[in-house]
Amino acid sequence: GVVFHDLPSDARDFADDQRASWPMLQDPDGETGSAFGVRGPPHTFFLDARGNVVSHVSGRLSRRVLDTQIRRAAGAT
């Protein structure tokens, strides 16, 4: 995850609430988010095993969309 336009403490609280286990990159100047074309959160990118972006979703994710995108990323080569 990339902490983009959020306080680190707020991001940590959110991750704790979601029981997130993924690493979080601090992006205080917005450089990383801007490099990916993010204009505002939430924006989720899905990567394949090689680290290539295979899809993305702008806005909130439903469980169904999240599951579909994860399956798609896992099957991408």
> Global pTM?
0.68
Structure confidence by residue, pLDDT tens digits, 18-55? 888 878 888 888 888 888 888 877 888 998 989 899 99
| CB distance 52 to 76 below 8 Å | yes
Q: Measured on CA atoms in the order 62, 63, 64, 65, is the torsion positive or negative? A: positive
pLDDT of residue 55: 92
pLDDT of residue 5: 80
| Phi-psi map region of 48: left, alpha, beta (phi>0 left; psi -120 to 50 alpha) | beta
Separation of alpha carbons 19 and 39, rounded Å? 26
Highest mean pLDDT of the ranges 2-16, 35-49, 55-69 = 55-69
Say what percent of the chain tops pLDDT 70.
97
11's enclosing H/E stretch is helix 8-18
pLDDT of residue 18: 83
